[in-house]
């Protein structure tokens, strides 16, 4: 076989797996069944606005949930969550659409993947049921603010600013930092956001705010611990969530419908090109990065992704900074 097809460099012959080949072949279902369970995947950091695949855009995921709500063939929805959180505003946009699905009579089951913490829990808590895996990292009910200023960096290169003001907020900006009055105002906003968070958990999980506060304050729990504390309803995987969604919608036969944001023409072209290169030539573009540079490249990508995710319009974030699974 190696003589006929060439070596893969690892003692075998060049080959393409069935799933890799199938992914490169366009396939469309000819008909749309009447009873469907819609699956919406929320994976990545939660950011405000429209965002590409690989991150969770508040408007993007809300639009997919709305699409499922307005589709008469969709009887229930599974929201697959794999996120450490992010923008508080975007998380609320998504949660509101989950609530709208419930109000429309379509059951919503959240299936937690490896991480569904902070903002990941915020977008989950209004579902009819929350299902986690025993090792899921969840909880982290808390909120913080990020305000970027550059006064120290500017001072290091000899650039200084000064001025005269007549109000507590005079002179506040990226070049002069945050004074005591502005800091107090920001802290009040954070405290209000935290109370909003625990009150929503209290209302949706049938717990008192004191009970929620005892398991909140940024504490992180495994899926089993979260079940014991009342933050989730069941332990189960994705297939269990599908089965539960069918049960809540009283469906005996159904099809699973993956609701996805369509790729732009450019994104589709690049994706198809990469698939064809891998299938036709046996090349994996990601394998071109030298092994010695992979740790550095991965770390740089993580830092860049974290900074890019800070786009909340109010600077308020429900994000578990220690929940990234390596």
Closest CA to 111 of 206, 204, 244, 246: 244
Question: Which residue out of 118, 124, 140, 309 is catalytically annotated?
Answer: 118
Residue pair 317/310 in contact (Cβ under 8 Å)? The answer is: yes
Percent of the chain clearing pLDDT 90 (strictly above)? 55
309 is an active site residue: no
DSSP characters for 212-249? HHHH-TT-EEEHHHHHHTTS-SEE--HHHHHHHHHHHT
Interatomic CA distance for residues 30 and 126, integer angstroms: 34
pLDDT (0 to 100) of residue 326: 45
Count how many residues are written for the chain. 326
pLDDT in tens, 69-86: 999 999 999 999 999 999
Q: Is the pLDDT assigned to residue 134 strictly greater than 60? A: yes
> pLDDT at residue 304 above 80?
no
pLDDT at 271: 57
Give the pLDDT of residue 235: 97
pLDDT tens digits for range 254-284: 999 999 876 666 655 665 655 554 445 455 5
Local confidence band at 166 (pLDDT 50, 70, 90 cut-offs): confident
Q: Dihedrals φ, ψ of 150, to 5°? A: -125, 20
Q: Output the average pLDDT for the chain.
A: 84
- Residue ranges and CATH numbers for the domains of the chain are 2-145+217-319 (3.90.226.10)
């Amino acid at each position: 076989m190696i003589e006929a097809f060439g070596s893969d460099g690892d003692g075998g012959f060049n080959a393409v797996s069935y799933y890799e080949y199938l992914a490169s072949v366009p396939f469309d279902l000819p008909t749309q069944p009447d009873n469907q369970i819609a699956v919406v995947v929320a994976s990545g950091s939660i950011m405000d606005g429209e965002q590409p695949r690989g991150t969770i855009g508040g408007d993007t995921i809300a639009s997919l949930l709305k699409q499922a709500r307005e589709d008469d063939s969709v009887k229930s929805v599974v929201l697959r969550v794999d996120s450490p959180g992010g923008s508080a505003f975007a998380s609320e946009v998504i949660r509101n659409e989950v609530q709208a699905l419930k109000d429309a009579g379509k059951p919503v089951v959240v299936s937690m993947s490896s991480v569904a913490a902070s903002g990941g829990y915020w977008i989950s808590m209004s579902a009819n049921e929350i299902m986690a895996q025993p090792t899921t990292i969840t909880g982290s009910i808390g909120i913080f603010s990020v305000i970027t200023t550059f006064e120290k960096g500017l001072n290091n290169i000899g650039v200084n600013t000064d001025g005269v003001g007549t109000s507590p907020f005079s002179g506040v900006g990226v070049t002069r930092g945050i004074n005591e009055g502005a800091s107090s105002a920001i802290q009040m906003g954070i405290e209000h956001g935290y109370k909003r968070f625990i009150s929503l958990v209290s209302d949706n999980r049938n717990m008192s705010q004191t009970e929620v506060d005892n398991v909140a304050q940024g504490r992180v729990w495994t899926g089993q611990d979260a079940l014991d504390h009342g933050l989730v309803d069941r332990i189960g995987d994705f297939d269990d969530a599908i089965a539960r969604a069918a049960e809540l919608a009283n469906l005996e036969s159904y099809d699973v419908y993956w609701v996805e944001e369509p790729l732009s023409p450019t994104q589709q072209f690049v994706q198809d090109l990469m698939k064809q290169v891998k299938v036709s030539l046996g090349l994996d573009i990601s394998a071109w990065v030298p092994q010695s540079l992979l740790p550095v490249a991965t770390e740089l990508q993580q830092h860049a992704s974290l900074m890019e995710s800070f786009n909340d319009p109010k600077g308020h974030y429900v994000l578990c900074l220690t929940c990234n699974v390596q």
